[in-house]
Structure formats: C-alpha cells, structure tokens
C-alpha cells in the first residue's frame, strides 16, 4: 500500500506512535509518506520506502494567524495525486482530520478517490477538542472519516461522552517495539545518577499542566523521608519553572536532575527503578508503556486509559489523581526491598508484552485494506 501519514512531528506520544507506525509499515514493504511541518523527531534519515514532505506556511503580513490547515490541505492534495497514495492516516484530530476531509473533497472533484483514517490520541478529545471553538469541526471530521480509531477503550468512551458522534470507533492500542527497550541497567549511568546506591525515580513528559508534575515532586519529597532516592526528569515544558521553584523551596534540588528533551529516553529510563506518572488525564500513557518495556514498574494515577496499560499489583500500582500520600505509599511498596522491586519489574515487562508491534501492526494493516476495499467497492466515497 502507498500510505500518507499526517502527525505532529514533536516529542508527544501521538507523533511518536505515528512515526513508529510509519517506519514499521515501511519495513513491511509499504511505501510511507510523512506529511507535516517538520521532520518527526524519531524518523531518522535514509530509510527505505520512507518519504517526508514538509508543510511550509509562509509568513504573509496580512495574517495574524497563518492558515496552517489550508496549506496542509493543499500539500495533501499534491502528495496524494503525485505519489499515487491509496490512503491517508491522520494522527490527532486537530486540525488533521478536517484538513484530510477537505483534501478528500478537492480530490473527489478531480476524480481521485482517497480514504482517510483518523486516530484519536487523547487531548484532541479530552481537552482541546471539547472546547466549543473546535467541537463542531471535530465532530464533523470524525463522522466523515472513512474510519476512526482510538488508542484505548477509555478514549473511545470519552469520545462518545463528549461528542455527538454516532459512528463506529475502533480501539487499536498504542504499541512498542519490545526489542528496542530490552536493555539491562547501565552501571556507568547508575553510578552517575545514583552514586550512593539510591533508588532512581524517573518521569518523562511535556511538563504540561495536565501531567500534574507538582505531584511528581511532592511524591519525591515524601518518599525521600523513608528511602534514599533521586529523581530524573526527562522532557521540558511550561511547568518546568514551577517544578524548579518547588524543589528549591524543599531544598531537594541536588537530588532532582532535569535532563531535558531526549529522542531516546529509554537509554536512561532502562537504568531507573520506578516510573512516575501523575497525570490528571491520560488517554493511554505511552511513556509508562515504554518504561514497562524496559522492565521499570510504574506508579500512576488511575485516570483515563492508564489502568488499561498499568495493571495494578502487577506492572505497578495506581491511585486517584492528586493523592500524593497514596502515590508515595505505592512507590514505597514497590521500592522497599529488592524482592518486591524484582517482582514488579517482571510484571511490568510481562504486561508490556500485550502491546508489541507484532500484535498491533496487523490490526492497522487490516483496517487499511478494509477501508481501501470499501472505497473501491463504492461503500464509502
């Protein structure tokens, strides 16, 4: 198949999933064209069957806001026609789904049929998309997609709850390439980050308010009263300053290390003992799954799709949003002795096995084939 993938090229989970999916499809012999405003961070260069088309929005002085969606639409029309694509797969509804629909209509007027699939990732539904300034467009684009998928049962339910959509939404969970995460802790890295044999906690995110990173710091402050621990923070974002202020106020900065954004966080996460995810809402929690694939247990909130990934008592422990005392108790229960930590490590790796590329990729390929068949049979436009 010849597939166009539209995504955000950033460190966010939706861009990571879209990129890994495209690369895996290309390895299967499909031809994959990425269409976005920058090279996706995990794309790399020189891969067979992989192409990248940059969407460039020129800075015309009339516009206070540059019309990215229109430029993306024009680019989609161009790439579909000239690369003879069979299908578009857009990740994150805003504004990709409506741009794909517009491109589909323009191409239809030129007698070119192109189906598109929309994959919902989370905040496009639970946070941003629900806003009345987006809702009618998102609802329309979902109804008119040739197929819609959601990355968890929870997100599927949220979509029906928050949007007046009637159509079928299929759950295809996120996935990981297990082989990439199969690493043993690096003694040099542990010596650097935990010089006195401390337990290493780690958090990876975009430090947006939805992640409640203040609770990561809060948990760390409480836990260090009971165990020697250090905290690694990977990523960056709007809450960073507040986090720094918080650990300065507690006098814990020497043991809290901000490592910044990383293209391959698993290189550090695999040497840690516990992953902490304190989000207010999380449609899936890809970062937690990546940690589990490194055999690192997870203490998380029990919100959204997280319980579908982090199995309570097996891969980690869950507690209500904002309950820092319960999170601290959970972290202590896992880290208190080597036997407990080892049991959770094994559980984390085992549970990650439910989300391997080998299990998930065929589900996308089958959906692609179905949608293309429906269009050629005239079932869909």
Provide the minimum distance between the beta carbon of 202 and ligand GMT in the complex, in angstroms, as a whole number: 16
Structure tokens, 249: 């106020």
Query: Cβ closer to ligand GMT: 249 or 264?
Result: 264
Query: Cβ closer to ligand GMT: 77 or 210?
Result: 210
Site for ligand GMT in 277-316 (CB under 6 A): 279, 281-286
Query: Cβ closer to ligand GMT: 12 or 218?
Result: 12
13, 129, 218, 235: residue in contact with ligand GMT (rule CB under 6 A): 13
Site for ligand GMT in 121-180 (CB under 6 A): 121-123, 126, 151, 174
DSSP3 helix / strand / coil % (the chain, rounded to 5): 45, 15, 35
Provide the minimum distance between the beta carbon of 14 and ligand GMT in the complex, in angstroms, as a whole number: 3
Query: Cβ closer to ligand GMT: 116 or 284?
Result: 284
Provide the minimum distance between the beta carbon of 359 and ligand GMT in the complex, in angstroms, as a whole number: 16
Q: Which residue, among 105, 98, 57, 56, has the nearest Cα to 80 in the 3D structure? A: 105
41, 80, 90, 92: residue in contact with ligand GMT (rule CB under 6 A): 92
Query: Cβ closer to ligand GMT: 72 or 151?
Result: 151
Provide the minimum distance between the beta carbon of 164 and ligand GMT in the complex, in angstroms, as a whole number: 21
- Alpha-carbon gap, residue 321 to 221, rounded angstroms: 17
Provide the minimum distance between the beta carbon of 285 and ligand GMT in the complex, in angstroms, as a whole number: 5
CB neighbours of 149 closer than 8 A, spacing ≥ 6? 117, 118, 119, 120, 169, 170, 171, 172, 367
Write down the number of H helices and E strands in the chain.
16, 13
36, 206, 303, 315: residue in contact with ligand GMT (rule CB under 6 A): 206
103 class by beta-carbon count within 10 Å (0-12 exposed, 13-18 middle, 19+ buried): buried
Q: Which residue, among 305, 299, 250, 300, has the nearest Cα to 273 in the 3D structure? A: 299
Which window, 14-22, 64-72, 81-89, 335-343, contacts ligand GMT (CB under 6 A)? 14-22
- Sheet (strand 274-277) strand order: 256-260, 229-235, 199-205, 274-277, 298-301, 316-319
Question: How many other C-beta atoms can be found within 10 angstroms of the C-beta atom of residue 122?
Answer: 29
* Sign of torsion over alpha carbons 13, 14, 15, 16: positive
Query: Cβ closer to ligand GMT: 121 or 156?
Result: 121
Structure tokens, 81: 């026609």
Query: Cβ closer to ligand GMT: 126 or 278?
Result: 126
User: Where do contacts with ligand GMT occur on this chain (CB under 6 A)?
Assistant: 12-15, 17, 92, 121-123, 126, 151, 174, 206, 208, 210, 279, 281-286
């Amino acid at each position: 198949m010849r597939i166009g993938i539209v995504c955000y090229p950033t460190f966010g989970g939706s861009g990571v999933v879209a990129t890994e999916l495209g690369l895996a499809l290309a390895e299967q012999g499909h031809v994959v064209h990425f269409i976005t405003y920058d090279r996706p961070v995990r794309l790399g260069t020189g891969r067979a069957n992989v192409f990248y088309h940059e969407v460039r929005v020129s800075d015309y002085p009339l516009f206070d806001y540059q019309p990215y969606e229109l430029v993306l639409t024009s680019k989609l029309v161009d790439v579909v026609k000239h690369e003879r694509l069979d299908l578009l797969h857009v990740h994150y509804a805003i504004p990709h789904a409506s741009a794909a629909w517009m491109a589909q209509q323009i191409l239809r007027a030129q007698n070119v049929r192109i189906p598109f699939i929309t994959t919902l990732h989370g905040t496009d539904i639970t946070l941003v998309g629900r806003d009345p300034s987006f809702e009618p467009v998102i609802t329309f684009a979902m109804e008119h997609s040739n197929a819609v998928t959601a990355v968890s049962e929870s997100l599927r339910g949220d979509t029906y709850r928050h949007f007046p959509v009637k159509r079928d939404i299929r759950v295809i969970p996120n996935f990981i390439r297990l082989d990439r995460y199969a690493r043993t802790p690096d003694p040099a890295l542990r010596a650097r980050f935990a010089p006195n044999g401390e337990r290493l906690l780690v958090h990876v995110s975009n430090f947006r308010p939805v992640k409640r990173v203040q609770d990561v710091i809060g948990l760390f402050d409480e836990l260090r009263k009971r165990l020697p621990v250090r905290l690694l923070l990977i990523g960056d974002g709007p809450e960073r300053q507040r986090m720094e202020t918080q650990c300065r106020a507690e006098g814990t900065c020497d043991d809290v290390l901000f490592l910044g954004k990383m293209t391959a966080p698993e290189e550090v996460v695999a040497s840690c003992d516990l992953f902490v995810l304190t989000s207010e809402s999380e449609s899936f929690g890809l970062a937690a799954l990546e940690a589990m694939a490194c055999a690192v247990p997870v203490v998380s909130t029990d919100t959204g799709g997280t319980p579908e990934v982090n199995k309570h008592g097996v891969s980690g422990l869950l507690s209500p949003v904002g309950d820092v005392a319960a999170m601290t108790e959970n972290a202590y229960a896992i880290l208190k002795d080597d036997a407990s930590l080892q049991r959770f490590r094994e559980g984390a790796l085992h549970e990650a096995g439910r989300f391997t590329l080998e299990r998930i990729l065929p589900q996308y390929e089958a959906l692609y084939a179905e949608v293309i068949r429906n269009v050629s049979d005239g079932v869909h436009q």
